[in-house]
Amino acid sequence: MQLRSYSGLLVGFIVFGIVVWLANRVHTELTDPGFAQTVLIAVAGWASGWLVGFLVSPNTSNELRNLSQATSTITAFVAGFMMAKVEPSFTPIFANGQLMNEPIYGIRVLIFIICFVVAAINMYVFREFTGRY
């Protein structure tokens, strides 16, 4: 069972590498100098996914109790922060068809989502089947 978990982690890192390689190709094609920003977005998605995967797969009842408290605190903070700070920064992206005129925004959102989902699945599977971390 541990071999499956480790092979799942390996596949996750391979997917991350492919995403970064594709981001490099897209930035070269669009002549956009923001490749470092895109990689940072990918890493943020990866880290967020690992955190969510960790929080949804507790191993012991003590860990379950501690993680549920941490999860509710983090959820309240993130929801409050997103309502107050993040929404105004999305307004310029959607104004005047900016999202359609600048495809890099959509690409970055997809990169974040892909990295988030793969990392969350990796961490969940790893913790469920190995009982570590």
The per-residue pLDDT for range 67-89, each reduced to its tens digit, is 676 677 777 777 776 667 666 66
DSSP letters, 78-94, are HHHHIIIIIHHHHHHHH
pLDDT tens-place string over residues 1-52: 567 667 777 888 888 889 999 988 888 888 888 888 989 999 999 998 888 8
> What is the mean pLDDT of the segment spanning 55-61?
72
- For the CA atoms of the chain, what is the radius of gyration? 17
Structural domain span for residue 61 = 2-130
- As for how many domains the chain has, the answer is 1
